[in-house]
C-alpha cells in the first residue's frame, strides 16, 4: 500500500512536471510573434497584420510624464489617467474597425544630437510650452521604459499588437546603447510584433551611405537586437522602389521589409507594389500608405477605393501585411498630410463598450474588416503605366542595364533629376535590360542600380539631346553594374 502511494505520488509529480514544461514550451516558444515559412504567426496561429499608424507623444505635469495621444489628434491631455483612458478608448475603436496592430510612432524615437551624441525626448507641458529630458542615467531610462510599457499594456488590453518605431543614428555609441537597453527591457514582450529600426532612410538617412555601409550598419543593429532578444522580429521602413540605390531591400539583415509607397504620381502605389512582389526576396508588408480625403476636394469614396485596390494588390503580389497612415486627420498646414486619417475631426463616436471618441470614422473603414486575400501572382497587376507613372513627354533618357557578363538585368531602377535636384522621375528596366525614362523637364543627373547590384550615376547636358519621335532624347548606351560583394 505504501509503495502504491509512492508510485502514485511520483507519477503525479512527473505528470505535473511534464505539463509545466509543456506550458513553458508553449509560453516561450509559441506566444511570441514570429515568422514561419515567411508568414506571421502569433501563438502558433497564422496572423495577418492589419496595421494603423498611431502617434503617441509624451506629456508631463512637471512631476510625472506619460504616453498620450498626440495633441495633433485634437486634444492635449494634462492628466495621466485621462490620457491613458483616451488611448484605451481609441485603441478599442481601432480594434473594432478591423485592425489588429498599431504602429506606434513617437515615444520610441529619442532625438539624437549628431554632434554631442546625446539622446533626449520632448515632453509637452501645455499648448505653448514643452521641455526636454536627457536619456543619460539608469533611473531616467527606467522611468522612460516603464512609461512605454504602460502604453504597450493598453494596446494589449485592447487586443492589439504593436510595431514600435525607434530612431537610431549611425556611429553613435549612445544610439547603440539605447537599442541594447530597449531590447533588453522588452525581451519576450508578447505585445510587440516587431521593432521598426529606422524610418524612411531615403529622407532621413543622411549623410548618404553606399550599400556596403548600409549593410554593415543594419547588421550591427540587428545583432544588438538578436543578442538581447533573440526571437524579436525586426523591420525597416523603406520609402519604396527608390531605396534600391542605397538601402537595397534584399541586402538588409532584418526579418521583413516595411514599404511606404505614396501616390505622388498616378497609380504609383499599385505599380510599386508590383515591383515589391516581383523583386523582394524576403517577407514584406506595406508599412505606410494613404491618400487624403476630406469629402470636398477629394471624396471619401475615392479614399476607400484606393484602400481596397492597394490592399488587394498587396496580398495578391505576396505581401503579408498592410498598414494605413494614419489614425486621425490632423492640422499640419497642408492638405496632403491633413486628411489621411481614417477618423475625421467632426462629431463623436461610441465604442461597443460605450466609450466616447472625438471624431467620426470615414467610409474607408469598411475596407479593413475580414481581410482574407491569398497571394495570387495572376492577380498581381502590372498596370499600363508601370514603366512611367506620369507618361510625360518633354524629355527622355534611354539605355540598357547589363551585368559583368553583359547579361541584361530586369527590374533595375533608373532615376533622373532636374538641374537643381528638386524633382525626379524613375523607371524600371524591362526583360531585355532596356529602359525609357520620361520626364516633364530636361534631366541633368541620373542614377541606376538593381537589387543586389552596385550603383552608378552620372550627369547630362540636355543640349546634347537628339530629337527622336518628336522628343529630346539622350541615349546612355549600355550601363554595366556589378553583382554586389558585401564581404
Contacts of 277 (CB under 8 A, 6+ apart): 316, 317, 318, 319, 377, 380
Residue 399 region by backbone torsions, left for phi larger than 0, else alpha for psi between -120 and 50, else beta: left
Are residues 415 and 374 both part of a single domain? no
Are residues 465 and 352 both part of a single domain? no
CA 117 remoteness from chain centre: 25
Are residues 346 and 438 both part of a single domain? no
Q: Domain of 259: which CATH number? A: 3.20.20.80
Q: Which of 323, 347, 379 is the last residue of a domain?
A: 379
pLDDT confidence band for 5 (50 / 70 / 90): low
Are residues 407 and 348 both part of a single domain? no
Question: Which three cell numbers, joined as nine digits, stand for 352?
Answer: 461597443
Q: Which of 201-215, 279-293, 356-370, 460-474 has the lowest mean pLDDT?
A: 201-215
What pLDDT is stored for residue 19 in this prediction?
47
Q: Domain of 399: which CATH number? A: 2.60.130.10
Are residues 343 and 414 both part of a single domain? no
Q: For residue range 46-82, list pLDDT tens digits in order.
A: 999 999 999 999 999 988 999 999 999 999 998 999 9
Instruction: Assess if residue 442 is contained within a domain.
Output: yes
Q: Which of 330, 354, 379 is the last residue of a domain?
A: 379
> In the chain, how many domains are there?
2
Among 317, 323, 324, smallest CA distance to 273 is for 317
Are residues 360 and 413 both part of a single domain? no
Are residues 369 and 440 both part of a single domain? no
Q: Which of 346, 379, 412 is the last residue of a domain?
A: 379
Instruction: Assess if residue 340 is contained within a domain.
Output: yes
Q: For residue range 383-434, list pLDDT tens digits in order.
A: 999 999 999 999 999 999 999 999 999 999 999 999 999 999 999 999 999 9
Instruction: Assess if residue 352 is contained within a domain.
Output: yes
Among 478, 475, 480, smallest CA distance to 453 is for 480
Are residues 209 and 345 both part of a single domain? yes
Instruction: Assess if residue 336 is contained within a domain.
Output: yes
Q: What percent of the chain lies above the pLDDT cut of 90?
A: 86
Q: Does 27 score more than 50 pLDDT?
A: no
What pLDDT is stored for residue 377 in this prediction?
84
Instruction: Assess if residue 57 is contained within a domain.
Output: yes
What pLDDT is stored for residue 487 in this prediction?
79
Q: For residue range 353-373, list pLDDT tens digits in order.
A: 999 999 999 999 999 987 878
pLDDT confidence band for 455 (50 / 70 / 90): very high
On average, the pLDDT of the chain sits at: 93
Instruction: Assess if residue 7 is contained within a domain.
Output: no
What pLDDT is stored for residue 126 in this prediction?
85
What pLDDT is stored for residue 23 in this prediction?
43
Buried b (16+ CB within 10 A) or exposed e, 194-214: bbbbbbbbbeebeeebebeeb
Instruction: Assess if residue 8 is contained within a domain.
Output: no
Query: Is the overall model pTM greater than 0.85, yes or no?
Result: yes
Range of the domain at 444: 395-480
Are residues 463 and 340 both part of a single domain? no
What pLDDT is stored for residue 16 in this prediction?
54
Are residues 163 and 197 both part of a single domain? yes
CB 52 within 8 A of CB 99: yes
Q: Does 217 score more than 70 pLDDT?
A: yes
Are residues 205 and 127 both part of a single domain? yes
Q: For residue range 83-113, list pLDDT tens digits in order.
A: 999 999 999 999 999 999 999 999 999 999 8
What pLDDT is stored for residue 29 in this prediction?
45
Are residues 341 and 440 both part of a single domain? no
Instruction: Assess if residue 200 is contained within a domain.
Output: yes
Amino acid at each position: 500500500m505504501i509503495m502504491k502511494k509512492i508510485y502514485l505520488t511520483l507519477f503525479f509529480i512527473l505528470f505535473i512536471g511534464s505539463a509545466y514544461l509543456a506550458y513553458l514550451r508553449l509560453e516561450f516558444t509559441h506566444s511570441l510573434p514570429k515568422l514561419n515559412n515567411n508568414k506571421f504567426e502569433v501563438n502558433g496561429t497564422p496572423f495577418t497584420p492589419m496595421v494603423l499608424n498611431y502617434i503617441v507623444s509624451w506629456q508631463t505635469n512637471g512631476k510625472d510624464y506619460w504616453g498620450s495621444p498626440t495633441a495633433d489628434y485634437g486634444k492635449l491631455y494634462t492628466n495621466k489617467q485621462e490620457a491613458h483612458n483616451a488611448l484605451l478608448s481609441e485603441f478599442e475603436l481601432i480594434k473594432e474597425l478591423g485592425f489588429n496592430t498599431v504602429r506606434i510612432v513617437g515615444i520610441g524615437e529619442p532625438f539624437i544630437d549628431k554632434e554631442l551624441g546625446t539622446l533626449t525626448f520632448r515632453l509637452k507641458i501645455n499648448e505653448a510650452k514643452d521641455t526636454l529630458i536627457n536619456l543619460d542615467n539608469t533611473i531616467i531610462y527606467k522611468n522612460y521604459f516603464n512609461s512605454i510599457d504602460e502604453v504597450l499594456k493598453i494596446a494589449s488590453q485592447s487586443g492589439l499588437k504593436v510595431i514600435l518605431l525607434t530612431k537610431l543614428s549611425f556611429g553613435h555609441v549612445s544610439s547603440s546603447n539605447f537599442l541594447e537597453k530597449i531590447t533588453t527591457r522588452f525581451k519576450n514582450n508578447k505585445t510587440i510584433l516587431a521593432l521598426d529600426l529606422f524610418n524612411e532612410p531615403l529622407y532621413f538617412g543622411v549623410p548618404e551611405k553606399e550599400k556596403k555601409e548600409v549593410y554593415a550598419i543594419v547588421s550591427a543593429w540587428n545583432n544588438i537586437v538578436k543578442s538581447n532578444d533573440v526571437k524579436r522580429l525586426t523591420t525597416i521602413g523603406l520609402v519604396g522602389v527608390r531605396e534600391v540605390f542605397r538601402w537595397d531591400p534584399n541586402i538588409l539583415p532584418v526579418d521583413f521589409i516595411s514599404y511606404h509607397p505614396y501616390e505622388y504620381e498616378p497609380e504609383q502605389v499599385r505599380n510599386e507594389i508590383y515591383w515589391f512582389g516581383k523583386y523582394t526576396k524576403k517577407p514584406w508588408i506595406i508599412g505606410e500608405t494613404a491618400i487624403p480625403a476630406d469629402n470636398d476636394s477629394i471624396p471619401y469614396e475615392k479614399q476607400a477605393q484606393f484602400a481596397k485596390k492597394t490592399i488587394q494588390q498587396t496580398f495578391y503580389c505576396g505581401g503579408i501585411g498592410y498598414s494605413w497612415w494614419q489614425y486621425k486627420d490632423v492640422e499640419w498646414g497642408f492638405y496632403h498630410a491633413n486628411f489621411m486619417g481614417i477618423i475625421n475631426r467632426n462629431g463623436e463616436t461610441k465604442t461597443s463598450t460605450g466609450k466616447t471618441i472625438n471624431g467620426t470614422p470615414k467610409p474607408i473603414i469598411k475596407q479593413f474588416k475580414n481581410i482574407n486575400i491569398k497571394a495570387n501572382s495572376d492577380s498581381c497587376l502590372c498596370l499600363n503605366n508601370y514603366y512611367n507613372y506620369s507618361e510625360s513627354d518633354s524629355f527622355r533618357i534611354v539605355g540598357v542595364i547589363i551585368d559583368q557578363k553583359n547579361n541584361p538585368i530586369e527590374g533595375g531602377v533608373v532615376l533622373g533629376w532636374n538641374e537643381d535636384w528638386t524633382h525626379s522621375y524613375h523607371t524600371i528596366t524591362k526583360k531585355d535590360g532596356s529602359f525609357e525614362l520620361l520626364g516633364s523637364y530636361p534631366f541633368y543627373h541620373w542614377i541606376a542600380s538593381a537589387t543586389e547590384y552596385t550603383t552608378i550615376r552620372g550627369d547630362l547636358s540636355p543640349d546634347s539631346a537628339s530629337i527622336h519621335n518628336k522628343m529630346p532624347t539622350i541615349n546612355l548606351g549600355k550601363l554595366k553594374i556589378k553583382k554586389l560583394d558585401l564581404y
